[in-house]
Amino acid sequence: MELNRETVTKPPGARLAVPFLQIKRSKVLTAETGFGRRDDTMDNIALNLPFTLTILAGSYILYSLGLIIYNLYFSPLSKFPGSKWVIATYWPEFYYDWWCNGKYLFEIEKMHDKYGPIIRINPEELSIRDPDFYNEIYVTESKRRTSHYDVFCKGIDFDGSHLLTVDHDLHRRRRKPLEPFFSRQGIMRLQDMLAEVALKLESRIRALEGTNTVIRLDHAFSAFSGDIIGKICLDSGDESKTFLSHPTFNPECESNSIPLWLLEAENKPNFLTGSRVVSFIPESILLRAFPRGQMFNNFKEVAKQHIYRALKDTEESKRTGKEDTHHASLFHYIATSDMPESERSPERLAKEAQVLLGGGTASTARTIGFTSFYIMSNSNIRSRLEDELRDVMAGWPQRVPSWAELEKLPFLQALIKESLRLSYGVMHRLPRISPDVPIQYKQYTIPPGVPVGMSAYFMHSNPKAFPEPDKYIPDRWLGKVTPEMHRSYVPFTRGSRNCLGMNLAMSEMSLILAVLFRPNGPKFELFETDESDVKQAHDFLIPLPKIETKGVRAIIP
């Protein structure tokens, strides 16, 4: 007897219980009958899509809840105080730094006020606000090894540079060849080059005298600093391609653009992907998404060409036995050194070039602009500075004062120190990791491998060291400079990973301020610029003023 197929019943939910069998059966029937059952297959997929999405969403929610519970109660850092909201997830940090444009540091400050000197600021990172403990975090290698927190590497392709090298020993090997060029002795050898670039900036300003032209001084100072680091790294000799040769001082090099691009490149891809997916995105697409990166990209390509040429010159000199007579720029020296070949690759050294351009331009230019604003906005400060510069700058440009001479001018140096105090150098927290041994802070033991940092903003805002810390008071550096002031003053950080370019920055700032504000210097006055155009409002690695600022503007009568 033939079974009536219509009388066969299926248990409720059988169709949903085995969706993959339904799809497979559909494919078999298609093969057996010889004609299409694609419509049935697509219907099955469409019916099962809500079920699949529900499973995925439920799994994600369960995973997230489990992670939150772990972060709150079972993490090795659960004993450290902090807001439950920020301990549980990274969303608060993302919200304040990305959506609110670099405001998380100020939330960290509020949390320190509430919870004490040591707090968790996200699921895996600690922050300390205690000037007496700064030197225990930022230590020299003689005390212990220090690793970099690689969250700042992810999403930006600079991790081959010495600055963002995570491992302590590899960082030391990469940094060591750079140090002679940025030592005090190395900077002394660059004085003629610094004077040449400073004179070019002065000439650009003097060429506009009598025109009532308004210029962006922050653009001009970024071009000045950018050209100096470009000459140190590459020294192509082509003056037509320098930033100072640009009609408007190449605003893409302006100090605000660099940290804004880094914020975009660091936060957006890193947060949204949680990985280095960004490094696989075609360069053309990335540059459309982050147009401020075009300048960095151009500089990288020029650096690669220079490095390839240096390697070729070295091979040629070895082959012919003739000495390579090319000027030994920083990368010419490194490319021809005895470093391992993997460390001398044009790709890696080009990343060093990009990092040096950013680090050697943004913070230095901002500090020069910051100082210039307070000089121009206060006639007493300007006249005092002119009086101090009168003798040492009398022979300029035929006689260039040495950096050592400018260092002996107390008021000039007081202006620079107070500007560095209020512009912070790098404002963003710079977490460090002790990979081998725990760090003891009072009753808290910080396990090895845990990132912990302290912002220069906290140090420089310490009212015990700097009374009225929000005010620009250069005279505080002319009286008795207390040990507390020395201890709390960290514009270049400290330890084995301190700022490589601090000598260059101090020399640049001293010279250009002396050139521009000496008696009989170029004439320019502040134009529609107030303190809100220079004072920190956002933490974008370096501090930036309000987003809508028009910069430090000056009119040239």
Residue 499 annotated in ligand binding? yes
Q: Name which of 426, 431, 557, 447 is nearest 501 in CA terms.
A: 426
Query: How far is it, in rounded angstroms, from Cα 549 to Cα 361?
Result: 19
Q: What percent of the residues of the chain are helix, what percent strand, and what percent coil, each to the nearest 5?
A: 55, 5, 35
For strand 538-540 and strand 525-526, is the pairing parallel, antiparallel, or unpaired?
Answer: unpaired
For the chain, what is the largest distance between any 2 Cα atoms, rounded to a whole number of angstroms?
A: 121
Query: How far is it, in rounded angstroms, from Cα 368 to Cα 74?
Result: 48
Calculate the alpha carbon distances from 331 to 191, 337, 382, 508, 531 in Å.
Answer: 19, 10, 40, 21, 39
**DSSP letters for 99-119:** ITTS-HHHHHHHHHHHH-SEE
Can you say how many angstroms the Cα of residue 113 is from the centroid of all Cα atoms in its chain?
Answer: 27
Question: Quick one: CA torsion of 204, 210, 212, 215, rounded to 10 degrees?
Answer: 10
Angle at 428 between CA 292 and CA 257, to 5 degrees: 15
Angle at 503 between CA 498 and CA 505, to 5 degrees: 95
Q: Name which of 304, 322, 176 is nearest 236 in CA terms.
A: 304
- Count of Cβ atoms closer than 10 Å to residue 239 Cβ: 11
- State whether residue 391 is helix, strand or coil: coil
**DSSP letters for 229-291:** HHHHHT----GGGSGGGSTT--GGGSTTHHHHHHHHHHHHHHHHHSSSGGGGS-HHHHHHH-G
Query: How far is it, in rounded angstroms, from Cα 456 to Cα 116?
Result: 18
**293 secondary structure, DSSP code:** G
Tokens matching residue 433? 């990791």
Which residues carry a binding-site annotation for heme?
499
Which residues carry a binding-site annotation?
499
